[in-house]
Structure 1
Amino acid sequence: MIMLRAHPCGPPPGRLCESPVWDSRTEEVLWVDIRGGHVHRARLTLGDSGPDLAHRSTIGLDPPVSAVVPCASGGLLVTAGATFYRIEANGTVDPVAALSLPDDGIRRRLNDAKVDPGGRLLAGTMSEDGVEGSAALYRLDPDGTLGILRDGVTISNGLGWSPDGAILYYADSPTQRIDAFEYDLATGTFGGRRPFARFGDGDPDGLTVDADGRVWVAVWGAGQVRAFDPSGRQCAVIDVGPSQVSSCAFVGPDLDVLVITTAAEGPAALEPDAGRLFVCTPGVTGLPATPYADVGLVRSDVR
């Protein structure tokens, strides 16, 4: 078992930081602060004391803003509330699609989102009150078509694919389990499911997969990122510090720096460095982030 320690980065803390991703076009790290409605950019710096992040800019939208991914056409795709937006390079914000949510009094919003190796966006929902089985996992195709992949979910989180794209790792956080699904990359649909990793002292949140197929999972409530080999055997632990560890991603030109996001929600806001971003160099490399394949996407009439 490899034991590592993460170190806090330069950008100021947020309330609920999430969705880190490396934008190879600009060589910047992107992430969101869900409660603040912020999409942040930072430059990776390498000094004598190790890697750090230097904040560059922030885009403000109406919160909650739950995820951000680069687009193939340039610009960004952002999930906010129940709507998908494209932010152009000039700052223009256009709606792409919106969820049709049940009118049952449950407060739902979009949560974690990732692009599959074929360029489709998978994005899940959650209820703000944690109503069991009230959420779902959706797929946004490159042409803007939106469909449901899985329902009966409570808090949709943690999406990542094996290096060959044949396995999707997925977390419905309150189950305290990561599941591995067979994934048809040609159609963007699920096959068989098997339990992959279990957590007894926290909830699996955001995750990423490295080039050798290891799955790195942020464990909310445990203050750690844990890595599992493709068989599901735990092989590394990164101690972060703040208990609310929310997500992680490999960044940098060589994809060899792990950026870890944290939150400062409720009593945990009093913990040292809560809400900060952290870095660690675990000695492995990540997989390149696939941009959302929106070339030719027609502007939506969603408002």
Structure 2
Amino acid sequence: MSAHPETDIAVRAAARLGQSPTWDTGTNSLLWVDAAARTVHRFGPDPRDHELEVPHAVSAAKPRSGRGLMLHLAEGIALFPDDDEQRTWLVYWARDGFVGGVSAVDTRGRLWASTQHEDAAGSGWLARVGGDGAAAAVLDDVARGTGLAWSPEDTLLYFVDGPTRRIDVFDFDAPSGQLSCRRPLCHVSDGEPRGLCVDTAGCLWTTVGSELRRYAPDGTPDRTVSLPVRNPTACCFGGSELTELYVTSAGQDPEAGELDGSLLALTDLGQGLRTTTFAG
């Protein structure tokens, strides 16, 4: 089913590779990054978009229980204060040719972060990182992680490895953080799913091509939203009631449109799950 909800340009920007939108409940603002420009953005709580340049390739910024931010960098996971660029490494796993992929924080405050080779050769991994820096690889042979989210009941983990054109689902044990029984939830024949978030009804949202799509909990596609950008990259729910759906986009493609690189905001698409801060 196609739909045309109201779409606003929340931030008219020229991000080369906007990605990883994350709602920060504590500050009532949206974190997102321009991975190619090594820039962290915070939209709100005032109407402005604030920028922080960091001296590393950054794939995500997440709120943390301590002061400042947790940053997913090419070399590992670092803690940054809000007021300067000083970093403290929590986990350092630098390897030549590897960059950061997708990341998300679970309900226990643990970070799940993928790392991948620049040529998407399938030699990357998905790691689970605790607030104390204890890290464990939970999935190998990741080519290009592009989506990660949990079900409302916290019993399933969804993961997208872009080149497979598939959303996979695992059984998830929240207390231990263990995964089991990986299987395909759905296949996407006409493009790579990029970004992933889940609403309170258990439906999954992702971007494919120039569209935002919703899949029912059983993997059935049930809604399509056309977007005014050619290269959307990720999505998340935000706002005080978690009823605004934010979409990042990339403007580095030679065929990018006028609005590519901007941050979009859509309404009347449901309500998202409450986000969790990183416990570090």
Normalised TM-score (structure 1): 0.87
The one of 54, 61, 79 equivalent to 1:68 is 61
RMSD of Structure 2 on Structure 1 (CA)? 1.6
Instruction: Provide the residue aligned with 2:236 in structure 1.
Output: 249
The one of 82, 90, 106 equivalent to 1:96 is 90
Instruction: Provide the residue aligned with 1:228 in structure 2.
Output: 215
Q: Map Cα deviations across residues 269-289 of structure 1 (whole Å, 9 max, x no partner).
A: 3x2211111111133110111
Unaligned runs of 5+ in 1: 46-53, 295-303
Q: Map Cα deviations across residues 57-101 of structure 1 (whole Å, 9 max, x no partner).
A: 211112421001110223210012122111124434322111153
Separation in 2 of the partners of 1:117 and 1:66? 21
Separation in 1 of the partners of 2:60 and 2:266? 22
The one of 203, 217, 234 equivalent to 2:192 is 203
Instruction: Provide the residue aligned with 1:84 in structure 2.
Output: 77
Instruction: Kindly report structure 1 stretches of 4+ aligned residues shifted beyond 6 Å.
Output: none
Amino acid at match of 2:236: A
Instruction: Provide the residue aligned with 1:297 in structure 2.
Output: none
Q: CA deviation at 1:4?
A: 2.6
After superposition, residues 43-58 of structure 1 pair within 5 angstroms as: 43=44, 54-58=47-51
Percent identity between the two aligned chains: 31
Instruction: Provide the residue aligned with 1:50 in structure 2.
Output: none
3-state DSSP of counterpart to 1:195? strand
Q: Do the aligned partners of 1:34 and 1:63 also contact (CA within 8 Å) in 2?
A: no
Instruction: Provide the residue aligned with 1:177 in structure 2.
Output: 166
Q: Tell me the matched-pair count.
A: 278
After superposition, residues 27-176 of structure 1 pair within 5 angstroms as: 27-43=28-44, 54-91=47-84, 92-99=86-93, 101=95, 107-131=97-121, 133-176=122-165
Normalised TM-score (structure 2): 0.94
Amino acid at match of 1:179: D
Amino acid at match of 1:169: Y
Aligned CA distance change for structure 1 residues 168 and 275 (closer, same or farther; 3 Å): same
Separation in 2 of the partners of 1:145 and 1:228? 34
Q: Map Cα deviations across residues 150-184 of structure 1 (whole Å, 9 max, x no partner).
A: 01110012000001110001000000000011011
Q: Do the aligned partners of 2:200 and 2:271 also contact (CA within 8 Å) in 1?
A: yes
Amino acid at match of 1:293: A
Amino acid at match of 1:24: T
Separation in 2 of the partners of 1:212 and 1:175? 26
